[in-house]
A and B are shown apart, each in its own frame.
Chain A
Amino acid sequence: MYTEKVMEHFRNPRNMGEIPDADGVGTVGNPVCGDLMTIYIKVKDNRLEDIKFKTFGCGSAIATSSMITELAKGKTLEEGMKITRANVADSLGGLPPIKMHCSNLAADALHAAIEDYHKRQKAKEVKE
């Protein structure tokens, strides 16, 4: 039911783990629904210098998390915000229809992490 690309990312997820001193963290989903993703980002010169993920969920949840870290790494924050769920699914050679909604949250998690980064920057500016 999954493409070889999905299985490959499931077997060898890229950028799995946490960034303890992350500049932004985004969590989406809910263990009740069976999918929970956290994306950690490190930002330098407006670029996503480092990105890592942790995911509770099915095979496609893990594969989409892994895929988005590959798509986003090195991109500017604006480019990161433009990555969509469809981009992630396409890059994996497609997802089963039923998985398109429930397990394709990685783009949302990335956007949440970038928004968290902006929020933190604003808070810093206010302090200064």
Chain B
Amino acid sequence: MDHMAGKPVDHRVTEAMLPYMESSYGNASSLHVFGQEAKRALEGARAKVAELINAEKRESIIFTSGATESNNMAIKGVANRNKDRGTRIITSAIEHMSVVNSFKFLTTRGFESVFVPVDKYGFVILENLENVLSDKTILVSIVYANGEIGTVEHIKEISKIVHGKDAYLHVDATAACGQVLIDVKKENIDMLTISSNDMYGPKGVGALYIKEGVRVEPLLHGGGQERGLRSGTENLPGIVGFGKAAEIAKMEMQSNSLQLTRLRDRFIEGLLNPIPYSFLNGHPTERLPDNVSVRYSFIEGESMLLGLDMMGVYASSGSACTAKTLEPSHVLLAIGLKHEEAHGSLMFTLGKENTEEQVDYVIGLMPGIVKRLRAISPLTPKELNA
């Protein structure tokens, strides 16, 4: 139940990819038959990804190596290409590290990065965004929905505010795409990051939607593939798999998301109700269908994960102790949690193959795990251990 970290590839996706690894290994840039077949497959996949987000045309989709590259390309590409118009770039306090670190990098290159705070649910505070948007702002980058706490941002309203100041809006939809209906036209999004693996496609492939007319500079220079915006021979099997995953997501998203939301709410209730001093992270209803993020006072996340792991359950935590940095998740701190509260967080990301029985199994395990660790912890109030 740690789908945020990696999802299984749908078998229909694998089947679609196989021919492009074994027999149809042409290069889409070649003129011969093999090459033309590859080109058709590439453009077919592009059309499917474009349809999923209702892009105006398939050429707006640029294939990349994944969400990290897409985020880097959108942020650095727009910043560098538009610095004649201004140097202020804005993002939120709950972005993925590929966004956070791109902004930090650009700060060292003369740009002025502003991180807008979020409220206790993780919603970007719109007044704060308005206040920092100036005529010199060229880019605003906001996550569609944060994968750690699940909160789905109010993108339409953000879009109005950003375009009121003539800045570009980039949206990182890595966690949301394939779960939530995204419409780049209706929501007026200039650039959108999508990841293949997050919708049961292969790893190592993603896309950046770029609206016509948006001025972006490439990260990779070379043979001029992807309209010159992303050079390098296309990862055809990966892209074909991504296209298939997008096609399946478009067909099945609605029913999958309904089922996941039911499962999610049952899970959250079962994790919180029987256990005192337990809390939900993020918003109760405006959250991703797959996201379950809770916290328990007086104990630490990694020891909970170990307890679950011993029983065959895999989850993740916002605790420093599971990270390389020794700092608790910046997202949990941004929603106002104290360090010790962030350490006690536990996250599950559900997948379409998870069942009610599995969820009930974890719900049944949790009180015992929490009780045992609380008995060991010096922070637990005496009456809880009685």
A interface residues with partner B (beta carbon < 8 Å): 2, 7, 10-11, 13, 16, 27, 31-38, 54-59, 61-62, 98-99, 102-103
**A34-B320, A34-B328 known; A10-B377 Cβ under 8 A:** no
In the complex, identify which listed stretch (B129-137, B238-246, B259-267, B297-305) lies at the interface while the others stay far away.
B297-305
Q: Is the CB of B343 within 8 A of A62?
A: no
Smallest Cβ distance from A39 to chain B, in angstroms?
10
* Chain A contact residues, majority secondary structure: mixed
Q: Which residues of B contact A61 (CB under 8 A)?
A: 300, 303, 321
Apart from A34-B328, A56-B376, A58-B321, what 9 extra A-B contacts exist at CB < 8 Å? A16-B376, A32-B339, A35-B321, A37-B378, A38-B378, A55-B376, A58-B306, A58-B322, A61-B321
Tally chain B residues at the interface, Cβ within 8 Å: 24
- Chain B, Cβ-Cβ closest to A54: B378
Q: How far is the CA of A54 from the CA of B379 in the complex (A)?
A: 9
- Chain B, Cβ-Cβ closest to A38: B378
- 5 cross-chain pairs, A with B, having the tightest CB-CB distances, nearest first: A58-B321, A58-B302, A54-B378, A31-B340, A32-B339
Q: Which residues of A contact B306 (CB under 8 A)?
A: 2, 7, 10, 58-59
| A–B Cβ pairs within 8 angstroms, 11 of them | A7-B306, A31-B339, A31-B343, A32-B340, A34-B339, A35-B300, A36-B377, A36-B379, A54-B378, A58-B302, A99-B321
Q: Is the CB of B321 within 8 A of A56?
A: no
Q: How far is the CA of A99 from the CA of B323 in the complex (A)?
A: 11
**A31-B343, A34-B320 known; A56-B375 Cβ under 8 A:** no
Smallest Cβ distance from B371 to chain A, in angstroms?
13
Q: Is the CB of A56 within 8 A of B310?
A: no
Smallest Cβ distance from B300 to chain A, in angstroms?
5
B interface residues with partner A (beta carbon < 8 Å): 298-303, 306, 310, 319-322, 324, 326, 328, 338-340, 343, 375-379
**A33-B339, A36-B378 known; A56-B298 Cβ under 8 A:** yes
**A33-B339, A34-B321, A102-B321 known; A56-B300 Cβ under 8 A:** yes
Q: Is the CB of A54 within 8 A of B376?
A: yes
Q: Which residues of A contact B324 (CB under 8 A)?
A: 98
Q: How far is the CA of A123 from the CA of B321 in the complex (A)?
A: 39
Q: How far is the CA of A7 from the CA of B324 in the complex (A)?
A: 20
Q: Is the CB of A56 within 8 A of B377?
A: yes
Q: How far is the CA of A8 from the CA of B23 in the complex (A)?
A: 51
Q: How far is the CA of A10 from the CA of B131 in the complex (A)?
A: 50
Q: How far is the CA of A80 from the CA of B379 in the complex (A)?
A: 26
Q: Which residues of A contact B299 (CB under 8 A)?
A: 56
Smallest Cβ distance from B339 to chain A, in angstroms?
4
Smallest Cβ distance from A115 to chain B, in angstroms?
19
**A31-B340, A32-B340, A34-B319 known; A57-B303 Cβ under 8 A:** yes
Q: Which of B310, B343, B375 contacts A34 (CB 8 A)?
A: B343
Smallest Cβ distance from B307 to chain A, in angstroms?
9
Q: How far is the CA of A32 from the CA of B320 in the complex (A)?
A: 10
Q: How far is the CA of A38 from the CA of B380 in the complex (A)?
A: 13
Q: Is the CB of B321 within 8 A of A103?
A: yes
Q: Which residues of B contact A62 (CB under 8 A)?
A: 303, 376
Smallest Cβ distance from A52 to chain B, in angstroms?
11
Q: How far is the CA of A10 from the CA of B301 in the complex (A)?
A: 14
Q: How far is the CA of A36 from the CA of B310 in the complex (A)?
A: 23
Smallest Cβ distance from B298 to chain A, in angstroms?
7
